[in-house]
Amino acid sequence: MPATSNSTRPIADLKLAVDDVGGPEIFRSFQGEGPMQGRVRTFIRLSGCNLHCRWCDTPYTWNWQGTNYRHVDSEKFAPAKEMTKLGLAEALDRIVALNAPGVVITGGEPLMQPRQVLALTQAIKGTRADISVEIETNGTLAPHPDLIEAVDLFMVSPKLRHSGNDPEVLSLGIENFREVKNAQFKFVAKRQTDVITVSQATRGIDSRRVWIMPEGRNARALNNSLRKITRATLRRGFNLTDRQHIRLFGDKRST
Q: Integer distance in angstroms from the first to the last C-alpha of the chain?
A: 34
What minimum distance in Å lies between the beta carbon of 162 and ligand SF4? 12
User: Do 167 and 157 touch, CB atoms closer than 8 A?
Assistant: no
Compute how many residues bind ligand SF4; rule: CB under 6 A. 12
Q: How far is the CB of 173 from ligand SF4 (least distance, A)?
A: 9
What value, to the nearest 5°, has the Cα angle with vertex 30 and ends 63 and 208? Answer: 90
Cα–Cα nearest to 212, from 238, 232, 247, 177: 238
Cα pseudo-dihedral 206, 185, 192, 71, rounded to 10: -160
Among 25, 82, 109, 242, binds ligand SF4 (CB under 6 A): 109
Q: Which of 32, 34, 102, 108 binds ligand SF4 (CB under 6 A)?
A: 108
Q: Which is nearer to ligand SF4, 49 or 118 (CB)?
A: 49
**Least Cβ distance, residue 111 to ligand SF4 (angstroms):** 11
By CB under 6 A, is residue 52 in contact with ligand SF4?
yes
The response to whether 158 counts as a known ligand-binding position is: yes
CA-to-CA distance for 225 and 164, rounded, in angstroms?
A: 17
Does 45 engage in binding with ligand SF4 (CB under 6 A)? no
Give the per-residue contact string, 128-157, with ligand SF4 (x = CB under 6 A; - = no).
----------x-------------------
CB of 56 to ligand SF4, least distance (A): 3
Work out which of 24, 32, 34, 107 binds ligand SF4, going by CB under 6 A: 107
Interface with ligand SF4 (CB under 6 A), residue from 14, 16, 18, 53: 53
Q: Least Å distance between CB 197 and ligand SF4?
A: 17
Q: Does the annotation place 187 within a ligand binding site?
A: no
102: contact with ligand SF4 by CB under 6 A: no
Q: Give the span between the Cα atoms of 192 and 232, in whole angstroms.
A: 6
Q: 36: exposed, middle or buried (C-beta count within 10 Å: 0-12, 13-18, 19+)?
A: buried
Cβ-proximal residues to 153 (8 Å cutoff; 6+ apart), any chain: 35, 36, 132, 133, 134, 135, 182, 183, 184
Residues 60-99 vs ligand SF4: string with x where CB under 6 A? -xx-------------------------------------
DSSP code of residue 248: H
DSSP for 172-192, written as a single string = HHHHTTTT-TTEEEEEEESSH
Number of H helices and number of E strands within the chain?
Answer: 8, 10
Nearest approach in angstroms of CB 138 to ligand SF4 is: 4
> Binding site residues for substrate, as ranges?
30-32, 45, 106
Q: Which residues bind ligand SF4 (CB under 6 A)?
A: 49, 51-53, 56, 58, 61-62, 107-109, 138
